[in-house]
Structures are given as structure tokens and as C-alpha cells.
């Protein structure tokens, strides 16, 4: 019997993530080349997601320094606000997400968001409707590790007060999160929604051999399953 579920955030609770024009505007505010900025974001993904910088402004400044630019504090603050808005615009919640999570909580299932992220999501998520339908949130930038490190799953299970054997993990497979969850003892299920495929992701897991669904709406039907094949 499933007592709790950990959901990945990006590409799982949200629609497929695609980078929009906000990234170009952020680069322009910082005075860096947009193409170089996007390439740098890709190169530093793991570092940023592990919370390698003491503050988000320090992180933005460090990134700019790598591109040979020294922005002012005002520029950094404006860029940080643009980053927050851009992350929200690039990753709107799936239409079914809130209803699915409400259904699960009504059934007594505890819910956590477990996400690899930089500074944006801890600030963005509390502003979304999701905040009212979850019991915990685990952010890699605060844990100091990214999935599939065991610390991410251990933190989630501790916050949910659940044994891994009674916890489901749902994600699109980025960061090899499904393999990591299964190794920690959770039952892992991949979301293979129709909009996924060309989405923005890092360290994808296209070879996942275990259970999968095509919509989050299928998850409530899994909570009474004693074992799912992974």
C-alpha cells in the first residue's frame, strides 16, 4: 500500500520545459551574449543545482565573470527577478496536476516535490497553487546533492515520515531520478506524457525499463497496488 508519493517538478508536475525569450532578456540585462549565456547555463547546471554558490546574486555574478562581464548589483537583482519570471513562464503546471494531487491527499497520501533546481524553485513554488496541496518540498540546491544521490530520496522520506517501500516516485526521468529512486527502495514510475521528448532536461533516462504512465491522472489508480515492477 502506497502511503506517500514524491513527484519531480519540472516536466512532471509542469508541462514540458522549453526555454523562452526570458533568457535572452536576462542576458541583455546582464550585458552578456544570449547564446553564450545559454551555453553557460547548460555547462553549470550540476554546479548550480547542487547549491554551489552562497547566494543567488553571487551565483549570477560568478557566471557573468566567466563570460568576462562585471554587472552591477542593480543588474544582478533585475536579472534574478527575470530568472524567477522566466522559470515560471517556461514551465507552467500541467492542467491535471492540482486535481490529481488533491485527489491523492483526499485519499490520505502524503506528497512531496523532489526537484533538482537552482535558487528559483524554492522562491517560485510557494507562489503557485501547488504549495497548498503538498506536504514537503526537497530542493537539490538546499540538500547539496542532485538526483540520483540517495540524500534527495532520504530527505523526502524523512520529511514525509514514510518508509521507502511505501513510497512512490513519479518523474520524467531527468537526472536518472528513476534509477536513483528504485535503488533507494521507492517504487519508481516514469511519466511519458505526449509533450515530452524534445523538452529541456539534463542526464535523461530514456532507457528506463520499469513502470510508466502517459498522464498524471493515472497515478491515483496506483496507490492501492502492493508492488509495481521496476
Q: Using H for helix, E for strand and C for coil, what is the string for the chain? A: CCCEEEECHHHHHECCCCCCCHHHHHHHHHCCCHHHHHHHHHHCHHHHHCCCCCCHHHHHHHHHHHCCCCCCHHHHHHHHHHHHHHHHHHCCECCCHHHHHHHHHHCCCEEEEEECCCCHHHHHHHHCHHHHHCCEEEEHHHHCCCCCCHHHHHHHHHHHCCCHHHEEEEECCHHHHHHHHHHHCCEEEEECCCCCCCCCCCCCCCCCCCCEECCHHHHHHHCCCCCCCC
**Which one of 34, 55, 90 terminates a domain?**
90
For range 139-147, the mean pLDDT: 98
The pLDDT value recorded for residue 225 is 58
Dump pLDDT digits (tens) for 89-108: 999 999 999 999 999 999 99
Percentage of the chain surpassing pLDDT 90? 94
Same domain flag for 172 and 196: yes
Percentage of the chain surpassing pLDDT 70? 97
Domain that holds residue 116: 4-17+91-222
Q: Is residue 53 part of a domain?
A: yes
Dump pLDDT digits (tens) for 32-59: 999 999 999 999 999 999 999 999 999 9
Q: Is residue 227 part of a domain?
A: no
228 band by pLDDT with thresholds 50, 70 and 90 = very low
227 band by pLDDT with thresholds 50, 70 and 90 = very low
224 band by pLDDT with thresholds 50, 70 and 90 = confident
Dump pLDDT digits (tens) for 164-219: 999 999 999 999 999 999 999 999 999 999 999 989 999 999 899 999 999 999 99
Same domain flag for 49 and 120: no
Same domain flag for 123 and 193: yes
Same domain flag for 101 and 184: yes
Same domain flag for 143 and 180: yes
What is the rounded average pLDDT for all residues in the chain?
95
Q: Is residue 62 part of a domain?
A: yes
Amino acid at each position: 500500500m502506497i502511503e506517500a508519493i514524491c513527484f519531480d517538478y519540472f516536466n512532471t508536475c509542469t508541462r514540458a520545459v522549453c526555454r523562452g525569450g526570458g533568457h535572452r532578456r536576462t542576458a541583455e540585462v546582464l550585458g552578456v551574449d544570449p547564446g553564450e549565456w545559454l551555453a553557460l547555463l547548460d555547462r553549470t547546471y550540476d554546479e548550480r543545482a547542487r547549491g554551489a554558490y552562497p547566494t543567488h546574486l553571487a551565483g549570477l555574478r560568478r557566471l557573468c565573470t566567466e563570460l568576462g562581464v562585471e554587472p552591477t548589483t542593480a543588474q544582478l537583482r533585475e536579472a534574478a527577478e527575470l530568472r524567477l519570471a522566466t522559470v515560471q513562464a517556461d514551465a507552467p503546471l500541467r492542467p491535471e496536476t492540482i486535481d490529481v494531487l488533491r485527489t491523492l491527499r483526499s485519499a490520505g497520501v502524503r506528497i512531496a516535490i523532489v526537484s533538482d533546481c537552482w535558487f528559483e524553485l524554492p522562491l517560485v513554488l510557494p507562489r503557485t497553487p501547488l504549495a497548498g496541496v503538498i506536504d514537503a518540498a526537497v530542493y537539490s540546491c538546499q540538500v547539496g546533492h542532485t538526483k540520483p544521490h540517495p540524500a534527495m530520496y532520504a530527505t523526502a522520506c524523512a520529511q514525509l515520515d514514510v518508509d521507502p517501500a511505501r513510497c512512490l516516485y513519479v518523474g520524467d526521468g531527468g537526472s536518472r531520478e528513476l534509477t536513483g529512486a528504485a535503488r533507494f527502495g521507492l517504487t519508481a514510475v516514469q511519466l511519458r506524457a505526449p509533450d515530452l521528448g524534445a523538452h529541456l532536461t539534463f542526464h535523461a533516462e530514456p532507457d528506463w525499463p520499469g513502470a510508466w504512465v502517459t498522464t498524471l491522472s493515472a497515478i491515483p489508480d496506483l496507490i492501492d497496488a502492493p508492488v509495481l515492477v521496476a
